[in-house]
Amino acid sequence: MLNPKQRVRPERQVAGTTNRWRLSAKPFTRDLLALSQMCKAMCLDVDNTPPAPDRLHVPQTQKNRSGELKKALPSGDGAVTLECLGFQWELHLPQLFQSQTLAKLYVSALSGPPAGRPGDLERVLTGPSAEKARERPPVKRLTIALRINDPLVTKLAFATALKNLYTSQVELGLDEVLGVLASAHALQFRSLFQRCVTIMVDGLSSSNVASFHMAGCKYKEQPLSAACEKWMEMNLVAEVGRQIHLQKIPKELLLTVLRSPSLFVFSEFHLLKTLLLWVYLQVTPRLLAFPTLEAVLAFFSSSPKKPCFLDQDVECGFAEIFLCLRLHGIIRGQDLDVLRHLNFFPESWLIRVTANHYHAMESGGDMAFAKDLTHQAVRFGLLFYKEFSAYSEMIAIYGFFFAMRGVRNNSTSYSFYMQRIRPADVGFPSEVCEHGLVSLRPERLVRYEIRAQALVGGRWQQFGTRPVLQKFRFVRPHCRSQVLQIQTTGSPIYVSFSFIFPAS
């Protein structure tokens, strides 16, 4: 209403059959019915109006005259006032019935005391026959109230969800999609809910994977939860483990990812560093900057010698996380020195790791402690980008040396394999043979598997060899593993090499 003291005579604008009018400069606050009528009368596009509940208005100049609201009825055919989140929203009946929650509330208010009968809802949704349509009395104008206790539902997100009742072309950003998803769930607006899920799956990143996974579990949307878990399997070490967002990853999600046989790691020591960083971020929750590895190692090394850190924090359940590690896969002497001086693991764990390595070296590399290729193999990995023409990483284990190689054949074709190399070969990095441990055995029996995964169009493509048992020698073709050839447009390609040295 205008202030009585104002002398300016306002210009009136007619919108729809009910002659609902507003000043041309007056915003349509929360009045979706008046907004739709005004857009129709002025041949404007409702999609270009802002979704904020306090700023729903039609611009003064508008070049886009693409059409009118679909399924819009004259307000004489019925409008409902929705009271929610401290606001009043006016809706058309055809749009209201896209929400099961609002439809049930409307039928309940329309029917009176015997509310909620399935037959009432079905009759309202299907509508009367064409012959009776002209004879029906006007639908009652009602006010319904919806109470939402979900903290994820904000007024702005709820306004965006209501706007989607009228058009499916409203753009949703990753920063607002979580609130819109929660609003769609409260409204039981399934098409909008699924659209939000698709946007979230396509936009997964280190900053949102934890909150999106929480939403998938909260609203029992298993495809969303599974997509977050799969993304984490590939990027826990490669991406999340290098950012402060690692602090937000809940323990339950971390356990699920660590127990997956398809978890991607550069090496077992890289995975250990990631988990140490995660624990450090949990015990220092106010930390705002990502810590250096040196600071983390110094923190745990400075704790009292007895008990070790895992024994001190039994109530936190950190030991359950580190039981998922394959500590026997930490091979390099420098990395083993870090384990011994860290004062993080119980002494019994370290003795077991040392004993496993000792017996393996005494038996010429045979890993008697590893039988299951899926759950006990030593794991290494590399990221292969489409810009690479070739890429190679060297690894050493018990005096045997291998190169993990990737080759780009053309724009979509790639080959990956493992090859045994001599320490005297040109280009062999000296740091790989750090302690001078070299096996003189001319052949080495290896059970291995090579897998590659790439994300294409929101879906993970998976490739792999079967488990192979092969004797590696120094001469061709016996020095090279089975070649994994793949066709994909995804980048990067996550390539994993898993192997054990069985008894000869």
| Whether residues 329 and 434 fall in one domain | no
Locate 447 and state its tokens. Answer: 């059970």
Map residue 469 onto helix, strand or coil.
strand
Give the integer Cα–Cα distance in Å for 9 and 2: 10
Locate 255 and state its tokens. Answer: 């356990």
| Whether residues 240 and 352 fall in one domain | yes
Q: Is the distance from CB of 499 to CB of 448 less than 8 angstroms?
A: yes
CATH of the domain at 405: 2.60.40
Which of 342, 362, 382 corresponds to the end of one domain?
362
Which residues, 6 or more positions from 251, have their beta carbon under 8 angstroms from its beta carbon?
317, 321
In a domain, residue 104? The reply is: no
Residue 446: which H helix or E strand, with range?
strand 444-456
| Whether residues 258 and 338 fall in one domain | yes
Number of domains in the chain: 2
Which residues, 6 or more positions from 319, have their beta carbon under 8 angstroms from its beta carbon?
310
Locate 446 and state its tokens. Answer: 């290896």
Q: Is the distance from CB of 253 to CB of 235 less than 8 angstroms?
A: no
| Whether residues 318 and 395 fall in one domain | no
In a domain, residue 345? The reply is: yes
Bridge partners (DSSP) of residue 401 are: 396
In a domain, residue 58? The reply is: no
In a domain, residue 134? The reply is: no
In a domain, residue 93? The reply is: no
Residue 123, by phi and psi: left (phi above 0), alpha (psi -120 to 50) or beta?
alpha
| Whether residues 267 and 352 fall in one domain | yes
In a domain, residue 158? The reply is: no
Residue 329, by phi and psi: left (phi above 0), alpha (psi -120 to 50) or beta?
alpha
Buried b (16+ CB within 10 A) or exposed e, 265-295: bbbbbbbbbbbbbbbbbeeeeeeeeeeeeee
Q: Is the distance from CB of 244 to CB of 217 less than 8 angstroms?
A: no
**Where does 45-124 show beta strands of DSSP type E?**
79-84, 87-92
| Whether residues 223 and 345 fall in one domain | yes
In a domain, residue 391? The reply is: yes
Residue 373, by phi and psi: left (phi above 0), alpha (psi -120 to 50) or beta?
alpha
Bridge partners (DSSP) of residue 447 are: 469, 500
- Residue 182 is predicted with a pLDDT of 96
- Residue 313 is predicted with a pLDDT of 74
Nearest to 271 by CA among 304, 302, 238: 238
Which of 340, 362, 384 corresponds to the end of one domain?
362
| pLDDT 10s digits, 16-26 | 444 444 444 44
* pTM reported for the whole predicted model: 0.78
- Residue 217 is predicted with a pLDDT of 96
| Whether residues 387 and 496 fall in one domain | yes
| Whether residues 330 and 377 fall in one domain | no
Map residue 190 onto helix, strand or coil.
helix
What is the C-alpha R_g of the chain? 32
Residue 286, by phi and psi: left (phi above 0), alpha (psi -120 to 50) or beta?
alpha
| Whether residues 271 and 407 fall in one domain | no
- Residue 360 is predicted with a pLDDT of 92
Helices of type H across 284-393: 293-301, 309-312, 318-322, 333-342, 347-362, 373-376
Residues in the chain: 504
| Whether residues 266 and 345 fall in one domain | yes
Q: Which domain holds residue 313?
A: 216-362
- Residue 76 is predicted with a pLDDT of 40
Percentage of the chain modeled with pLDDT above 70: 76
Count of Cβ atoms closer than 10 Å to residue 162 Cβ:
26
| Whether residues 340 and 455 fall in one domain | no
Residue 447: which H helix or E strand, with range?
strand 444-456
Show the low-confidence residues of the chain (pLDDT under 50). 1-30, 42-43, 48-77, 114-121, 123-128, 132-133
Give the integer Cα–Cα distance in Å for 393 and 391: 7
Nearest to 164 by CA among 84, 93, 67, 69: 69
In a domain, residue 459? The reply is: yes
Map residue 450 onto helix, strand or coil.
strand
Q: Is the distance from CB of 407 to CB of 415 less than 8 angstroms?
A: yes
| Whether residues 321 and 246 fall in one domain | yes
Nearest to 217 by CA among 263, 177, 180, 252: 252
Locate 137 and state its tokens. Answer: 């009395």
